[in-house]
Structure 1
């Protein structure tokens, strides 16, 4: 009997100490986690990706992530984010429009995020989550963006 009680207590401690360490969606419950890899698609010597050779350059790629991704170059590092507002259930208005280093949703609240600042919301944008980041690797002129 005592042995069963110890076993029950041990199992309870193990069960309640487990937690989900899934931070790949930056905390947002709205954007599904989609696995993708741009592989050798993004080559900055190609005209459609040429903006990524200059600081402040952005390129939007449809067909990756949930609604697409934006790749941004700071001048020494590349960043990539989902172009779906992480603070809305995905709808037509939650797809972000990109102008320079700014991403804005088309919903009534017009949430606005700084792509150049790491995907964080601008002051005055009252939201809980920053943009969902993706992994980026650069090897010469080839940029790989992926999510496992």
Structure 2
């Protein structure tokens, strides 16, 4: 009987502990839009991604465009440029300065760290919406 209880308890733990990627970021403000963009770093508009601690903004992709930041030759991050803490509107497209993304909306003044995606100022509950960024040769592929 003890074996059955231990087995049942283990099974319940596994069922309730496992969640998919989609449940980690249940942001009610930003919808998921499928993207797959290849950025050829041999082209002048993406050549900043050949150097550590540089970034490139890619407009007209995702909701309000996205930013790709090169941390090192093997580590890239990419984030949506729509402020994750309110619905997309006329002022929700963030601007980048160094490693900070700032929302220009006058009522929230949200700021985020572009390397970690975490809020650093304002009243936001959600961090930046992350995309996958992987380098293969001269191409950085950004997907979700």
TM-score bin (small chain): 0.7 to 0.9
Report the RMSD for the aligned CA atoms in angstroms.
Answer: 1.9
Paired position in structure 2 for 1:103: 101
* Unaligned residue ranges in structure 1 (runs of 5+): 1-16
Equivalent-residue separation in structure 1 for 2:122 and 2:52 (angstroms): 25
Paired position in structure 2 for 1:62: 59
TM-score, structure 1 length as denominator?
0.77
TM-score, structure 2 length as denominator?
0.79
Equivalent-residue separation in structure 1 for 2:103 and 2:111 (angstroms): 7
- Shift in Å at residue 125 of structure 1? 2.6
Equivalences for residues 67-78 of structure 1 within 5 A: 67-75=64-72, 76-78=74-76
Structure number with greater CO (CA < 8 Å, separation at least 6) is: 1
| Structure 1 counterpart SS, 2:91 | helix
| Structure 1 counterpart SS, 2:46 | helix
CA contact (8 A) 1:60 1:68 kept: yes
- Shift in Å at residue 23 of structure 1? 3.4
Structure number, greater radius of gyration: 1
Number of aligned residue pairs: give it: 125
* Unaligned residue ranges in structure 2 (runs of 5+): 1-15
